[in-house]
Chain A
Amino acid sequence: MSAATPALRAERSPRRLGRFAWPAGYVAVILFLFFLYHSILPSLVKPVSAPVLAWLPVATINECLMWAILALGLNVVVGYAGLLDLGYVAFWALGGYTAGWLMAFPFNWEWDFHLFSPVRASTPGTHVNFWLVCIVAGVLCAILGLVIGAPTLRLRGDYLALVTLGFGEVITQFFRNSNNIGGANVANGDPGISSIDPIGTGPLGALGVAPKLLTNSAAGNVWKILVLGLLVGICIFISLRIREGRLGRAWLALREDELAASMMGVPLVRVKLLAYAVGAFFGGIGGVANASGITTAVSPSGFDFGKSVLVLLMVVLGGMGNVWGVTIGAFLLSWLNGNGLKQIGVQIDSLAGTNLEASLPRYNYVILGLLLVLMMLFRREGLIPESRTKALMQMPSRTEAESLGADSLEAEAETGAVEHADAAGDARIAASAVAMAGSGAGAGHATGGSARREEES
């Protein structure tokens, strides 16, 4: 792998010019959103601002940003390293509960502790600064990620999915029963922890520019766009940079062929564990952002299996492995789940005189499930696929088919993959097949398929 590094560097150097392109673009988008809701919309006339506020309320934007953090975290595990994780909600929950432990009025113990907290010093309970809690939760979740990752190292595919799912359920059940863990009340059980501190604004609040505490009021929500946007930006930055580095390339190698990667000297154990740890770190931050910024309360009922699947759906919908695709997928789905379906219902109501406003959001599970099935059938690689993922998702996974002892499955599947390919690709393959003087149509397809794969990977 180190031998390939100079070549990669040389290839990357022209792009260095555009190094600041995405951060600039991203900052522009977030600032635009902020000013849109902070100053532009309130000054506009009602007919203009009302539809915008109805279709895209500030609270929904914040939720979208929070989900984007989670989706980016899961993208590291599923998209980069190819480890299917169906229990991602565990990290989100632990992050949320860390916020509950460190930023709330105590539910069972009696001590006051303040650390750079924006709330008044006389408030009882533990109150730690939002950013510190983010780091603590991230580290805690990374450790939990290692704990979850360690026993699953030998598993792959379905078994891995199942065990991670099991872990997710165990963590949720732990919090559900947490009012009596060996007699101690750890996290208040079913009701959960409420009245978690909102995010503080520090110097901005002191100067009077922003509200001191970003509560769920209108003003607070607008400023939260900046805070959550910053968090998402950090996550995007880490995701992009880590992917270029040695670790990211090791993940991709692992995803594409675990055996080949280990033969090439990728330390499987370390790389897999790091994938879980990094993904979990993001999940923890997402949990704090949710608990402190969005709901101001955590309870076990919010952390069900459906949430894990929702995050996974965001990753799959956007395009596994592609940071921008995943971010867009997260925005789209959390918007649909939060506000979009209701608005679409309202729109259809006004056109057709039906009564869908209340009923359409009730079908969110059905619609999300349908979306997932349709995506898998017709656009498996996601909305904005990564070129490598696209090739991978169209091809069968070689090691798995062969480890089952069905080597010939591959040839058949490749023929199928060729049939799915675009017309130009078909023409190219046909040409190459003719050039190779393929004996029969089936053989021609098979050779064309493997040539095409070599080309793309």
Chain B
Amino acid sequence: MVYGIIELINFAHGDLFMLTTIVAAGLMVSVLGVGALTAVSILPLLLALVVCMAFGGFLNVSAEFLAYRRLRSAPKLAPLMTAVGLSFIFRGIAQQDYVNGSAQKNWPVTWGGPVIEGVFVYKLLMVLAVTIPLLLAMTYIVSRTKMGKAMRAVAQDQDGARLMGINVNGTISFVFGLGGALAGAAGVLYFLCQTQTYYDTGTQLGLIAFTAAVLGGIGNLTGAVVGGLSIGIVQAMNEGGAYGLGSNWSQSVVFIILIILMVFKPEGIFGRPTTEKV
């Protein structure tokens, strides 16, 4: 998302997500005292969702305001390194004992409700109930609203957009906020599905997510969804399939796909090739 607009791999995005999983865990378990997840826990869930989205959005916007904004005219290496630095800061904070510690932390959360063929119905329902409205809202914002139009304009040509009277800085801040909020929502979902938090989750998942985005074609929402699904299928095949290498190798498999893709079809499945101009 952010990448499509300002052409920057946000390395810190995954770590932001990781921080929100910890916030979600802390809020739901320690503050609200959620133990078993049943239909009753829908309110704390909503509260955690709102708080985490606000938290992620706020953190991302402030990072943009403090760091990326000043680097917009700098060579690409500078914002990239800044993102790596931010990711280090987030990881470092999460590693502190009073936040999460450097080991994996399991939270005492269990799933209640009916179970059908090993699938927790509530879990599935909750994921769908959160993801689908968010995706619809995203599509609406990007394609229908004025802000969405401004976002697309900025993505195409920042100077052109500025000349057309679009507040480029404001738009980019908004995009960062939106990206952060989505990371927050994803954080809540991830925590509820896995019931554990770990400071390294962000980097691992962030890379896989980026591979998915590249697989589908950068800046293409359909492509991102298809890419995400196919990466998921590949991982599942690798881990559970008869000819798979097992979960020890899942990261390698994803990366090798990424590398092969980069070499042969860098524009992704749904992307259109860009030519290089002098």
In-complex Cβ contact of B9 among A161, A259, A367, A377 (8 A):
A161
CB of A376 within 8 A of CB of B89, answer: no
Q: How far is the CB of A419 from chain B (nearest CB, A)?
A: 9
In-complex Cβ contact of A159 among B86, B95, B262 (8 A):
B262
CB of A363 within 8 A of CB of B92, answer: yes
CB of A373 within 8 A of CB of B92, answer: no
Near A by CB (< 8 A), chain B positions 229-275 give 248-249, 251-252, 255-256, 258-260, 262-263, 266, 274
By beta carbon, the residue of chain A nearest B77 is A84
CB of B73 within 8 A of CB of A412, answer: yes
* Residues of A contacting B77 in the complex (Cβ-Cβ under 8 angstroms): 84, 393
**Which of A163, A316, A373 is packed against the most chain B CB atoms within 10 Å?**
A373
The answer to whether the Cβ of B105 comes within 8 Å of any Cβ in the partner chain is no
* Residues of B contacting A152 in the complex (Cβ-Cβ under 8 angstroms): 262-263
In-complex Cβ contact of A365 among B78, B95, B260 (8 A):
B95
Stretch at the interface among A41-49, A170-178, A440-448: A170-178
* Residues of B contacting A404 in the complex (Cβ-Cβ under 8 angstroms): 7
In-complex Cβ contact of A174 among B7, B252, B274, B277 (8 A):
B252
By beta carbon, the residue of chain B nearest A365 is B92
* Residues of A contacting B100 in the complex (Cβ-Cβ under 8 angstroms): none
| In the bound complex, CA of A158 to CA of B74 (Å) | 15
With A370-B89, A372-B81, A396-B74 already in contact, the answer to whether A169 and B255 are too (CB < 8 A) is yes
Near B by CB (< 8 A), chain A positions 144-166 give 151-152, 154-155, 157-159, 161-163, 165-166
| In the bound complex, CA of A416 to CA of B73 (Å) | 7
CB of B88 within 8 A of CB of A368, answer: yes
The answer to whether the Cβ of B130 comes within 8 Å of any Cβ in the partner chain is no
| In the bound complex, CA of A306 to CA of B203 (Å) | 10
Q: How far is the CB of B35 from chain A (nearest CB, A)?
A: 31
* Residues of B contacting A375 in the complex (Cβ-Cβ under 8 angstroms): 81
Q: How far is the CB of B102 from chain A (nearest CB, A)?
A: 9
* Residues of B contacting A312 in the complex (Cβ-Cβ under 8 angstroms): 81, 84
* Residues of A contacting B248 in the complex (Cβ-Cβ under 8 angstroms): 173, 176-177
B203-228: contact bitstring with A at CB < 8 Å (1 yes, 0 no)? 10001001000100000000000000
Excluding A86-B84, A154-B266, A155-B262, 11 further A-B contacts by CB distance (< 8 Å) are A159-B266, A161-B9, A166-B259, A312-B84, A366-B92, A369-B92, A371-B85, A373-B89, A376-B67, A393-B78, A404-B7
